[in-house]
A and B are shown apart, each in its own frame.
Chain A
Amino acid sequence: MNEHVKSAALAERKVSAKMSDCVEIEFRAVTKLYGALAAVKDLSLSVRRGEFLTILGPSGSGKTTALMLLAGFVAPTSGDIVISGRSVASVPSYRRDQGIVFQSYALFPHLSVRRNLEFPLEMRGVKAANRANQVGRMLDRVHLADYADRMPSQLSGGQQQRVALARALIADPPFLLLDEPLGALDRKLREQMQIEIKSMHREFGKTTICVTHDQEEALSLSDRIVVMRAGRIEQTDTPEALYDRPATRFVATFLGEANLFEHSEFELRTDLDQPPNTVAIIRPERVRIAAPTAPTCPDQHLRQAVSGTVEDMIYAGPLRRYQVRVGRSTVVVREHVASGQKIFYPGEAVRLDWLRSDLRIVAE
């Protein structure tokens, strides 16, 4: 979609990030133990000013602990956290300047929308007149001006989410933490909110750290993604790079779908030098499906072909998903639906091919 825009913006940021003073938040070898259990192990990470960074991982990967550490709700067992050049490891949450959107929003149920938004301003000693001003402006910005005197329970999920976002932004903190910001919304609203968050980020330019287990959320929102697993960082990169060049099998399968070819699974003349303890992967949308008799393309010498039998075909709107039996393994193929396309039904013999350059070798 807007991948070009994204990567352009990213390139711009990368240039500016060369200057070290642009590092806003830094984890320095942070470890957090709960009893003997390490929720976060030796975590080192720096977040640049204005960046949208997502910490992505399954439950138990330590991503929530990382957020709690950053928010000041728990103190690290060892290591240090530095925000704008100041060590904050033992600074309690209420003495940090931050905005947090909580997982279930944590809107105060006994306060109206207006009073909810006023709260962080009040705590910072903003005078009543100024508060009213700022709240009014922020409510206009999130299109909730008519709802100022409603209670949170009288709002829809999407409206609550916008109030939570507004409340986190209103005191103009230097950075924003989002904890599974879209987890509670249904699919349609999620897409709307993704756009909303994105545009808020563009408009306010806040350094944003988002914690989620939802890869789609991570891919669409972030400048950079940190994939965590069992308290450690698995890989850090831009969404495109992560998707395109995953470093490990875990990243490859956690982020999107991947066909994994074990070393000896079937005759795979990869040309690539595949060291032991690695797997070759290819994304389903990089695999082309054709009838065995179809004429080959001119670039066929760059391609690798195998033949198989269609096991299953699922039609999913813009996509068609095939499951093709090749030897002893199953290859998933995702094809964009286009007019005049040949559709293959279960039982049909097909030829699959892909560019050799699309194969990736990743660590097991």
Chain B
Amino acid sequence: MLQKLTRAPFGLTLPSFTLLLMVFGVPITSLLFMSLNAPDWSFVNYQRFLSQSANIYVLLQTIEISIGATAICLVIGYPTAYLIVTAPERQRTVFIVLVLIPWLTSGLVRTYAWTVILGDHGLINNVLVASGLASSPVPLIYNRFAVFVGMVHIMLPMMILPLLSVMYNIDKSLVAAARSMGARPFTAFWRVFLPLSLPGVRSGSLLVFVGCLGFYITPQALGGLRETMLSKLIVNQLLVSANLGATAATAFVLLAVTAVVLSIFGLDLSGSRERVRGAVGTKRRSWLSAQGAMGRWFNELGTSWRASRWQRQLYRAAAQVRWVEFAGAGFMTVVMVYLLVPGLIVIIMSFSAGDFIEFPPSAFSLRWYVAFFEDSTWTTSLSNSVEVAIDVALLATATGTLAAYGLGRMSPQSRSILTMMILMPITFPVVIVGVAAYYGLFHLHLIGTKTGLVLAHSIGANAYVVVIVAATLANFDRRLEQAAMSMRAGPLRTFWRVTLPLIRPGILGGAVFAFIASFDEAVVTSMISGYSIRTLPLRMLENVTQQIDPSIAAVGSLLTLLPVLWLFVLYVLYWRSRGKPQRAHAQAEA
């Protein structure tokens, strides 16, 4: 019986779904009922929310800030991704790593770095005042500008990475084909490359937008009192008021915004890109064709001009356009500085010998690291974080790997539905996941316990593991399993001897991500730790705005360097195991 169950694809997803339902599914459903004032059923909670103009203001501001941050991310991220894809192979790898490093670095630390850079006595103002360019500190922080700087900094990799994966898969010969038919470089880009990269624009924008909706630490730390986000409101309600119904209503308003955006642009994280695109395409053909007709009309205006230019320039030699390359290099430099310098500043500052935070440090020492390791409150929180993260990595890797394996053997329909459910904890705004987890763990009496933390972190980590392992499985040749079975290996032995060794890099990669996701988590943690368990990010969160104790820089530096270490581990796992045969193959091709 048991064997039959575990062999069935659905059985393999069971551990994942047990976890998901316990910590997320059941609580969010009952929260929904509660927000609807069950069993009396009314919209009183929503009416109360919407009747307060302050709430409406925060809601609109949340949407406004999220749209703004998404737009900025797109404007910066698209050219960056394009330049990375078109760069020579070796440079490309370097750039991807440089984008990944900040992505793996704790958002908390990066927010902290911006307070140090933008603060009234921060880096920029110090320079301005010292050089006499400004008589008094320029207000760079506690305003909308700082919120955007911080949020875009955190979300930019989330925009660049999906764009990269789509752009990377665009057949380069298509652009070559367009040029061979007389399309100038910009036309070839505009007519061929850009339309084909739109799926990446869509997924990147969705990820960033939804991520922004759930933000609350960064706007809180960098924005003024006016820059409140809905998620901040939710956390306040949860921690202060006893009325869970009202909190749930606020959370569902935020979720509704998310759902509306997702349903307009279509959620596409399940890896079934082609099918989703096809479905969306048929639904919106009329809209697209209307737009296309207009574009064509404009296009037609230039026809005679193009005809004469074609005649004029046929077989005319072209000068190498150098300034384009320079502009590209300059742009990349600025973006990379923006992405990486804050982290570097934190690291350098942490070696300061002074009594206060200063940059650049007048002398270097390890005193703040010593202070950090001598302060038992810091070390306890560090060991708490590590303990929780290891448990999360173990649990989520087990459940996620099984689920990914099971999902891979299902029919496409059930796969995409179940995958979407499993990915909810990372596609929903994080604060909603926090509210649900809070409610679920509250009923299990696990608020303020390590077990509770591990469970709450695991639902998100599980999703990451599923994504990564599923991606690895997609490249795994199913016929190898059939071959093993034809040689009389049973299903279990086949998995153990053939499948597992081949997908091991994906599993280990998933474990690393699970660890990082848990280790850096601050939002959900702050809601369910009940002040009794202090993880490192939580301790840091308490101190971020104070900026007084330089040992916080030491913590930040540790939190920054750790992911770099992990990235190295990932590099060893992935590129070493796969890159070599591929490279040999590429050479044989050339």
Residues of A within 8 A of B (CB): 59-60, 71-73, 83, 86, 88-100, 102-104, 106, 108-110, 119-120, 122-128, 167, 171
Contacts and interface: CB of A to CB of B under 8 A. Distances in A.
A107 B313 CA distance: 26
B310 A125 contact: yes
- Closest 6 CB pairs between A and B? A125-B307, A125-B306, A123-B182, A120-B181, A106-B177, A90-B317
Given A106-B173, A108-B174, A93 B306 contact: no
B182 A103 contact: no
Contacts of B309: 125
B196 A126 contact: no
Interface in B179-220: 179-185, 187-188, 191-192, 195-196
A123 B308 contact: no
Contacts of B184: 94
B101 to A, nearest CB: 30
A42 B338 CA distance: 48
A131 to B, nearest CB: 9
A110 B178 CA distance: 13
Contact of A93 (B176, B187, B589): B176
B303 interface: yes
Sort chain B's interface into a size bin: 35 or more
Interface string B235-265: 0000000000000000000000000000000
B281 to A, nearest CB: 9
Contacts of A98: 180
A109 B195 CA distance: 10
A100 B173 CA distance: 11
Given A108-B192, A110-B195, A124-B307, A102 B176 contact: yes
Given A73-B176, A100-B177, A109-B196, A94 B185 contact: yes
B321 to A, nearest CB: 10
Contact of A123 (B176, B187, B590): B187
Interface in B134-189: 171, 173-174, 176-185, 187-188
Nearest to B187: A123
B315 A100 contact: no
B336 to A, nearest CB: 27
A171 B69 CA distance: 45
Given A83-B315, A94-B183, A94-B184, A122 B177 contact: no
Contact of B318 (A86, A95, A100, A123): A95
Interface in B278-333: 296, 299-300, 302-310, 313-318
10 contacts: A71-B176, A90-B317, A100-B181, A106-B174, A110-B195, A120-B182, A123-B187, A123-B306, A124-B310, A125-B307
Interface of B: 171, 173-174, 176-185, 187-188, 191-192, 195-196, 296, 299-300, 302-310, 313-318, 588-590
A89 B318 CA distance: 10
Contacts of B195: 110
Nearest to B182: A123
Contact of A88 (B176, B178, B191, B315): B315
B182 A91 contact: no
Contacts of A102: 173, 176-177
Contacts of A167: 181
Contacts of A91: 315-318
Nearest to B183: A123
Nearest to A170: B181
A118 to B, nearest CB: 10
Contact of B303 (A73, A103, A126): A126
A60 B182 CA distance: 29
A76 B196 CA distance: 31
Contacts of B314: 95-97
A59 B177 contact: no
Q: Which of the listed residues B181, B184, B300, B317 has the most CB atoms from chain A within 10 Å of its own CB?
A: B181
Nearest to B170: A109
Nearest to A97: B314
Nearest to A90: B317
B367 to A, nearest CB: 51
Q: Which of the listed residues A72, A110, A123 has the most CB atoms from chain B within 10 Å of its own CB?
A: A123
A94 B310 CA distance: 9
A128 B293 CA distance: 12
A59 B313 CA distance: 35
A93 B313 CA distance: 12
A122 B313 contact: no
B171 A106 contact: yes
B182 to A, nearest CB: 4
A103 B303 CA distance: 30
A122 B299 contact: yes
Contacts of B177: 100, 102, 106, 108
A124 B182 contact: yes
Given A94-B182, A98-B180, A100-B180, A110 B196 contact: yes
Contacts of A89: 317
Given A83-B315, A95-B318, A104 B171 contact: yes
A127 B303 contact: yes
A92 B171 contact: no
B94 to A, nearest CB: 20
A125 B308 contact: yes
Contact of A126 (B185, B307, B588): B307
Contacts of B176: 71, 73, 93, 102, 106
B284 to A, nearest CB: 14
Given A104-B173, A108-B174, A108-B192, A123 B181 contact: yes
B305 A94 contact: no
A171 B181 contact: yes
B313 to A, nearest CB: 5
A128 B589 contact: no
Nearest to B292: A115
Given A106-B173, A110-B195, A171-B182, 5 more contacts: A59-B589, A91-B315, A119-B178, A120-B182, A167-B181
Given A94-B179, A103-B173, A171-B181, A123 B310 contact: yes
Nearest to B296: A128
Given A59-B589, A83-B315, A106-B174, A94 B307 contact: no
Contacts of B178: 108, 119, 123
A266 to B, nearest CB: 37
Contacts of A96: 180, 314-315
